[in-house]
Amino acid sequence: MASTRKLTTKDGQVFYEIRVSRGRGKSYLTTRWYPPKGWSKKAIERALAKETADFERRCHEGEVVSRSEQKESDLQQKREAAKIQTLKKFGEEVFMPAKTVTMSENGRCAYQGSLNHWIYPALGDLKMPDITPANISALLLSMQSQGKAHATCVKVYTILHSLFKMAYMSDVVSVNLMDKVERPKPRKDELKEKDVEAYTTEEVQRILAALENEPLKWRALMRLLIDTGIRRGECCGLQWKDVDFKENTITIAGNLCYTPQKGVYMDTPKSGKVRTIDVDPDVIELLRQLRLEQAGHVISTYVFIQKDSAEPMHPQSPARYMQNFSERYNVPGLHPHKLRHTFASIAITNGADVASVSEKLGHSDKAVTLRMYTHADQESMKRASQIFREALKKADPA
């Protein structure tokens, strides 16, 4: 039912408000009609009656809606539009912007690389609701048939799992397709015996002996990595102000990183926390000698620098040096992360508590430290068995 009333604007202009009732529980719909100047009363009444009837018809036929209903309709249209967007568009406009907020630059770069190289070429042009588990399985199987490493296939699987979970939570898709996609398994030719993740104490002693023939800079860097288990980026980002020569400690306050897109840049430590750790006095002495040697050539705030430059050493340089060192001294598998594993393994094997080792390594979770503790020699396994047997003997009432 429609009704009208005559009103006036603030500046004195006359208009008629037309109101249509839509029944109980629904808001009124209104519109304004401004009569032309000079019209007679009868002409206005005839035109107003026509306008009222036409507006009432359009309201009942759904052509006119309230502001709140229009807002909800617009929102629903956006939802529907989101449901038909392609995987690449969702990845670029929703998934990666959200990941960038929570991920490190290295992590973001790795995700973007997998999306650009594998996921977008295969699935990027498909609309999200049209993608099937078979499409995703076909991509993963194609990667394996091309001989791609198992770790690469698993990374792509993990990214897709995260992407479709976000799409499902955002109502872009009605189900999470990845619940029906099997995680890639290693090919038969990839089922090889796992390499030892840590060196024994004897192997470390052999590395230390070989280091005596190396330049001071590399001797100090390698000894520091071996003694503390810090990350290579933390080592390359170490500054002289972070070294306490009196207390024999260093403070890890930064992590030097590199990505092709951003270049070399300083980030926070991976755990997000600054930590101070003790260092072997012999290593501190090497750092003292390095500072004197460095001052004779260049003044820099960084402990480990590039040749003939005050700039910090590139975070990939330690790995390249270790590869060369490995070949020259026949030390298999030498790389910075293996030295972290070695520190954790030897320390825990010889009685250090996991919490202390985890704190020194800068892990946010002790479970990460335990996963690094993968090496146990025959002597330590024998000692573990003996501890178990002695516990049983103590519990024996006889």
Domains of the chain with CATH codes: 2-64 (no CATH), 87-190 (1.10.150.130), 201-378 (1.10.443.10)
pLDDT tens, residue by residue, 274-319: 999 999 999 999 999 999 999 998 999 999 999 889 999 999 999 9
Please give the Cα distance from 366 to 164 (Å, whole number): 30
Position 196 confidence tier, pLDDT thresholds 50, 70, 90: very low
Task: Give the tokens for residue 221.
Answer: 């860097």
| Listed residue (66, 162, 65) closest to 108, CA to CA | 162
Contact between 315 and 257 (Cβ < 8 Å): yes
Q: What is the pLDDT of residue 81?
A: 62
Strands across the sheet containing 14-20: 2-8, 14-20, 29-33
Quick check: 381 pLDDT over 70? no
Position 66 confidence tier, pLDDT thresholds 50, 70, 90: confident
pLDDT tens, residue by residue, 198-224: 888 899 999 999 999 999 999 999 999
Distances (CA, A) of 372 to 111, 269, 277, 319, 322: 24, 18, 19, 19, 20
Distances (CA, A) of 44 to 5, 15, 16, 29: 13, 11, 10, 22
Please give the Cα distance from 275 to 43 (Å, whole number): 86
| Listed residue (115, 153, 112) closest to 259, CA to CA | 112
Question: How many CA within 13 A on the CB side of residue 373?
Answer: 21
Quick check: 258 pLDDT over 80? yes
Position 362 confidence tier, pLDDT thresholds 50, 70, 90: confident
Average pLDDT over residues 31-57: 92
| Listed residue (190, 129, 184) closest to 159, CA to CA | 184
Beta bridge partners, 266, equal 256
Quick check: 77 pLDDT over 50? yes
The least confident of 36-40, 82-86, 189-193, 367-371 is 189-193
pLDDT tens, residue by residue, 319-343: 999 999 999 999 988 999 899 888 8
Burial state string for 193-228 with b = 16 or more CB within 10 A and e = fewer than 16: eeebbbbbeeebeebeeebeebeebbbbbbbbbbbb
Q: What is the pLDDT of residue 119?
A: 97
Quick check: 82 pLDDT over 90? no
Please give the Cα distance from 133 to 277 (Å, whole number): 49
Quick check: 246 pLDDT over 50? yes
Quick check: 240 pLDDT over 90? yes
pLDDT more than 90, % of the chain? 53
